[in-house]
Amino acid sequence: MSNVVIEVSDLAKRYGSLNAVDGISFDVKANEIFAFLGPNGAGKTTTIEILQCLRRPTSGIAKVLGLDIANNGNGKEIRRRIGVLPQDFNGLDRLTVKENISLFASMYGRARDPDELIRLLDLEDKAKTRFDKLSGGLKQRVGIAAALVNDPDIVFLDEPTTGLDPKSRREVWQVIQSLKQEGRTVFLTTHYMEEAERLAARIAIINRGRIAAIGTTGELLEKYGGDRFLIIEDVLSEKLSRLKSQFPDLREANSDIMIRVESLKDVSQVIETLNNLGVNQGIQIRNPSIENVFLRLVGARLTEEGKLA
Ligand code: ATP
């Protein structure tokens, strides 16, 4: 089988006059965690619901596990081989964790053992707890268990950690990493930059229905992440002139100065030079960041709430 499990070419979805998905192309490789990073309304859910054969595209081609979504007969087979955590996942409040997972499992002819999923999601202590008594993070873990009942090749997670506190978010991240370790492919949508950066092998930055850039985190940082700087705080004026003669390109920002360094290797050399000039304290490194990548490509910042600012 080819290494590519999702192929999308010039895919578009119009709602009236709105181009919700506006001609996007990308591939997802087997066993990678692939992230769609973008603000609310960027077209993330629309894209993944097209791939799940829940919505029809206006135009373009998409293949999931080699199966063309345009062929009506493929919908059933695709859904049999994928798992989905929808953005608005909700279990049944009055049922326990185990009853919920068993219920989802009962919808499939061949399903994984609910106890095995409970172990995998580290939910043993909560197996007999009612769904409505769970924290947001635990509810999402039940949702991921539900997405795994059919032992899917590809798992779609639509904003799996939106609204969670940082600790629960980290727990869900661990689960997502374990999905990869199990050999699955993960298609993640998120508006959290840190989430995409931490988890994904490749990130597509999506805004207004278009992919602004796509690549490994390293590639995006290299291309759009901005320069690497050493920042030296509160430089005394008598040292400034010596620094200026050594580093003619240095930038002054308030009482700080910034020295651009080409690569990580150069950092230690520059620090040594600084030490020789008597600057030993208040030195910080500012690396290229995914925040900068986003800002450069989209022209706005992505807030915690998933808005552009
Ligand atoms: P969110 O995180 O808010 O769900 P998203 O990136 O998943 O954002 P989509 O839900 O795909 O974005 O929505 C893309 C655009 O299409 C939005 O402007 C949305 O309002 C619009 N839209 C989505 N579904 C429909 C629909 N059924 N009818 C009309 N417009 C729609």
Distance CA 89, CA 101 (A): 13
Q: What per-residue confidence (pLDDT) applies to 111? A: 87
Helix or strand or coil: residue 73? coil
Average pLDDT of the residues in 111-140: 95
* Neighbouring-strand partners of residue 288: none
Judging by beta carbons within 10 Å of its beta carbon (0-12, 13-18, 19+), is residue 78 exposed, middle or buried? Answer: buried
Instruction: For the domain covering 4-223, report its CATH number.
Output: 3.40.50.300
Query: What average pLDDT does the segment 25-36 reach?
Result: 98
Q: What is the CATH number of domain 227-287?
A: 3.30.70
CB of 41 within 6 A of ligand 1: the answer is yes
> How far, in Å, is the centroid of ligand 1 from the Cα of 13?
10
81, exposed or middle or buried, with CB in 10 Å at 0-12, 13-18, 19+?
middle
Beta 185-190 vs 210-216: how paired, if at all? unpaired
User: What b/e readout covers 162-186, taking b as 16+ CB neighbours within 10 angstroms?
Assistant: bebeeebbebbbebbeebbeeebbb
- Sign of the torsion formed by the C-alpha atoms of 276, 279, 281 and 283: negative
Please report, as a single letter, which amino acid is at residue 239. K
20 lines ligand 1 (CB under 6 A): yes
Over residues 185-207, the pLDDT tens digits come to 999 999 999 999 999 999 999 99
- The protein residue with its alpha carbon nearest to ligand 1, atom 18, reads 41
Under 8 Å between Cβ of 213 and 223: yes
Instruction: Tell me if 137 CB under 6 Å of ligand 1.
Output: no
- Atom 29 of ligand 1, nearest CA residue: 15
Query: Amino acid identity of 279?
Result: V
Look at residue 139 in the predicted model and tell me its pLDDT.
Answer: 96
Question: What pTM does this model have?
Answer: 0.91
Cα(108)–Cα(119) distance, integer angstroms: 20
* Cross-strand pairs, 214: 204
Ligand 1 mutation pick, 21, 40, 46, 304, max ligand atoms within 8 A of CB: 46
Would you give the DSSP letter of residue 308? Answer: B
Nearest-CA residue for atom 16 of ligand 1: 20
Do residues 208 and 177 touch, judged by C-beta distance below 8 A?
no
Residues of the chain with CATH 3.30.70: 227-287
- DSSP conformation letters of 244-277: HHH-TT-EEETTEEEEEESSHHHHHHHHHHHHHT
State the pLDDT confidence band at 242, using cuts at 50, 70 and 90: confident
Question: Quick one: pLDDT at residue 2?
Answer: 58
The three-class DSSP label of residue 285 is: strand
What order do you get walking across the sheet with 67-68 strand by strand?
18-29, 4-15, 59-64, 67-68
Ligand 1: centre distance to CA 275 (Å): 54
Check if 46 has its Cβ closer than 6 Å to any atom of ligand 1. Answer: yes
Q: Is the CB of 57 under 6 A from ligand 1?
A: no
Q: Could you tell me where in the chain the CATH 3.40.50.300 domains are found?
A: 4-223
Mean pLDDT of 225-247: 88
For tokens 């949508």, the residue is: 189
pLDDT at 134: 97
